[in-house]
Amino acid sequence: MSATGVASVRRLLRGTVAHVPRDPFTAAGEALEAWDDGGLALADDGTIAAVGAWRDLRAAYPAADVDDRSGAWLLPGFVDAHVHYPQVGVLGGLGPRLLEWLEGRTWPHEARFADAAFARAEARQFLRLLARNGTTSALVFGAHQAVAMEAFFHEAAASGLRVTAGLVVGDVGLPEALRTTPELAFEEAAFLARRWHGRGWLRYAVTPRFSVSSTAALLAACGAVAREVPGTWVTSHLNETPDEIAVVRARFPDQRDYLATYEAAGLVGPRSVFAHDVHPSDDELTRLAAAGARVAHCPSSNHALGSGLFPLARHRRAGVGVALGTDVGAGTSLSLLAEATSAYVGQMLLGADGERLTGARLLWLATAAGAHALGLGDLVGDLRPGRAADVVALRPPPGSTLAAALTHAADGPSALATLVTLAREDAVEATWVAGEAVWCAAAAERLVG
């Protein structure tokens, strides 16, 4: 058992505990730590006071209340590094590739978020679904309308989740309803950033949609917002498909590549997260690493839109931090475990160029890697004492394929691989942020089901 030994402990969680406190791509030996009959001691201040074998925890804290989740797995809460709030309604759009999918299906739906009441209801549902999928921290790609983002931030504050998000802006190549101007983009984004950045667990992310829908002036306005409100994050899309890259090249003939369009506006730094980067040049990877910028890998979306197979090994060799994102509308679910399974499949299809992804590596990508990408690596991402108690409990539904497969798992690592492959939102029994429940399947059944 490891413990901080300082905080007062009133509650113990019991279950099968697993986390990956060291980078499993570089750590010597097994990076996974797991206890078949284990537990967590939760301190009153919302942190983890101790983690380890159940008998040791019980002996150390004999007076604490016990929340017995035996039969369930207790993992660090998942971190989604790229997920679009206004796109739950466009999930499942099979057929088109990226640019056609955006124009035909997604942008018309995103235009509906000009209605504040609609936006607020969608925000509430979206955030509830994140928690229901075990996600406790997320870098959320917002909506194009300031009223929709004001509604979103209100709901995010109430959700108890750790949310970073911002107004999406673009001034060209978009339907009229979604277009803004550099002046208005600056004004609205700076207003929202001043109002919400740093409030509770909320943070603001400066969010140009992508350079396909931006002029240099719009991107410069985004850079100005990031300077105006210090500490804000930056997120956008990068190198998703060859067609998209060609449009950016034509729009910015003076820039040497896609990344340079963001660099010119001061948008590439240690608080920047770019989604996709399926088709980067070596030079772009070198510059991303030098800037300390991160990439959100969204394999379900890349595979569904046929965008390509993500060069994870090239990113790692270049020193670019990679986390996972569900992307949602173009992806297949809000489940980081589904995303991890997709990442695994994508790397296998790359053959010799692919990374071999074990259960421990996949869990790390879904948790600690995301925490690092979001600048939360000292706070969440694993279950070490001192971390915030952001935890998800996964219980195999009785009679499910997951339950059947787990009975045959030979050891901890193979059980974890089975869990990653098969556990989805119906297995999420409860989700906590800083020790407070943000999702409880039993309560939800009583309340709404």
Nearer to Zn ion (CB atom), residue 257 or residue 327: 327
- Considering only residues 197 to 226 of the shown chain, the ones binding Zn ion according to CB under 5 A are none
Burial 24-33, CB ≥16 within 10 A → b, else e: bbeeeeebbb
Q: Output the smallest distance, CB 25 to Zn ion, in A.
A: 25
Distance CA 59, CA 80 (A): 36
Query: Could you identify the residue written with the tokens 């489940």?
Result: 335
Pattern of binders to Zn ion over 63-102, x per CB under 5 A? ----------------------------------------
Q: Closer to Zn ion at the Cβ: 327 or 339?
A: 327
| Shortest Cβ 439–Zn ion spacing (Å) | 24
Task: Please identify, among the stretches 145-153, 255-263, 326-334, 420-428, the one whose residues bind Zn ion according to the rule CB under 5 A.
Answer: 326-334
The conformation of residue 256, written as its DSSP 8-state character, comes to: S
Shortest approach of Zn ion to residue 244 CB, angstroms? 11
* φ and ψ at residue 367, rounded to 5 degrees: -130, -85
The mark string for 414-433 relative to Zn ion (x by CB under 5 A, - otherwise) is --------------------
Contact of 261 with 281, CB cutoff 8 Å:
no
Q: Which range binds Zn ion by CB under 5 A, 322-330, 374-382, 389-397, 415-423?
A: 322-330
Report whether 234 contacts 282 (CB < 8 A).
no
Question: Token digits for 319?
Answer: 């020193």
Q: For residues 112 and 195, which CB has a smaller minimum distance to Zn ion in the complex?
A: 112
Name the amino acid, one letter, at 445: E
Least spacing, CB of residue 327 vs Zn ion, in Å: 5
The residue among 112, 87, 76 whose CA lies nearest residue 334 is 87
CB of 71 to Zn ion, least distance (A): 36
φ/ψ bin of 74: left (φ > 0), alpha (ψ from -120 to 50), beta (otherwise):
beta
Contact 366, 337 (CB under 8 A): yes
Interaction pattern, residues 393-412, with Zn ion; x per rule: CB under 5 A: --------------------
- What minimum distance in Å lies between the beta carbon of 84 and Zn ion? 6
Q: By C-beta, is 16 or 301 nearer to Zn ion?
A: 301
Please list, in sequence order, all residues whose beta carbon lies within 8 angstroms of the beta carbon of residue 4, skipping any fewer than 6 positions away.
43, 47, 48, 49, 50, 385, 386
Tally Cβ neighbours within 10 Å of residue 176.
6
| Residues ≥6 apart with Cβ < 8 Å to 24 | 31, 32, 358, 360, 361, 364
Cβ nearer to Zn ion, comparing 339 with 429 = 339
Taking contact as CB under 5 A, which single stretch among the options 15-23, 197-205, 263-271, 325-333 is the one that binds Zn ion? 325-333
CB closer to Zn ion out of 19 and 279: 279
Paired tokens of 16: 């099968």
Which residues, 274 to 293, sit near Zn ion by CB under 5 A? Answer: 275
Choice between 171 and 244, CB closer to Zn ion: 244
Instruction: Give me the least distance between CB of 83 and Zn ion, in Å please.
Output: 8
Task: Candidates 142-150, 189-197, 272-280, 370-378: pick the segment binding Zn ion (CB under 5 A).
Answer: 272-280
Number of residues that bind Zn ion (CB under 5 A): 2
Q: Are the CB atoms for 271 and 260 separated by under 8 Å?
A: no
Residue with tokens 């003939």: 253
* Stretch touching Zn ion by CB under 5 A, among 65-73, 146-154, 204-212, 319-327: 319-327
* Dist CA 329 CA 90 (whole Å): 5
Q: Give least dist CB 305 to Zn ion, A.
A: 10
Please, what is the minimum distance in Å from the beta carbon of residue 212 to Zn ion?
12
Q: Which helix (H) or strand (E) holds 244?
A: helix 242-251
Residues that bind Zn ion (CB under 5 A): 275, 327
